[in-house]
């Protein structure tokens, strides 16, 4: 997109709650402030995917095999469900033919990337953006001038125009 997501959130007004305003191919999900998010990370391939979330530590709530017919996964008996104190992490490796269920609270307004830590997978699109609490972000002070200057040096806009975020 022409406009960095943080500036879209800060300048789009009520449109900041619409994921389309952040631009095509950004895989943006807008989160409401203090919302509890549960994600199922499903790996139906023969490679492990170390999935990393910026801006949060999440609870690893559940982990297991997607299909017992694959030797890479192991046994369906390996599945676990967290008790009252789930592990907190910012990265979880989801093995071949395995899944993980993670939870976090949208308590840190910002633009947070979740992506596979294998660079080629990230470059191929194994990433998404959480636009967290844009309505709260709009109540914060302006971005530092040094951030705005970096955007302008790279030809990036620092506000949303009336047509869209191309």
pLDDT digits (tens, 9 = 90+) for 26-77: 899 999 999 999 999 999 888 999 999 999 999 999 988 887 666 666 555 5
Global confidence as pTM: 0.85
| % of the chain with per-residue pLDDT over 70 | 88
3-state secondary structure of 159: coil
Cα separation, 130 vs 112, in Å, equals: 5
**Cβ neighbour number for residue 127 with a 10 Å cutoff:** 16
pLDDT digits (tens, 9 = 90+) for 91-144: 999 998 899 999 999 999 999 999 999 988 888 888 999 999 999 999 987 778
Cα separation, 124 vs 121, in Å, equals: 5
| Residue 76 DSSP class | G
């Amino acid at each position: 997109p022409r406009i960095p997501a943080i500036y879209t959130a800060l300048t789009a007004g009520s449109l900041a709650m619409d994921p389309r305003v952040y631009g095509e191919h950004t895989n943006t999900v807008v989160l409401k402030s203090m919302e509890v998010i549960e994600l199922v990370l499903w790996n139906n391939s023969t490679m492990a995917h170390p999935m990393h979330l910026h801006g949060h530590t999440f609870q690893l709530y559940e982990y297991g095999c997607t299909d017992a017919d694959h030797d890479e996964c192991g046994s369906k008996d390996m599945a676990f469900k967290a008790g009252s104190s789930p592990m907190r992490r910012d990265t979880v490796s989801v093995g071949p033919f395995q899944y993980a269920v993670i939870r976090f609270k949208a308590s840190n307004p910002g633009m947070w990337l979740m992506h596979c830590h294998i660079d080629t997978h990230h470059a191929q699109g194994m990433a998404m953006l959480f636009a967290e609490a844009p309505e709260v972000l709009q109540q914060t002070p302006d971005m530092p001038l040094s951030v705005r200057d970096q955007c302008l040096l790279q030809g990036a806009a620092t506000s949303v125009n009336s047509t869209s975020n191309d």
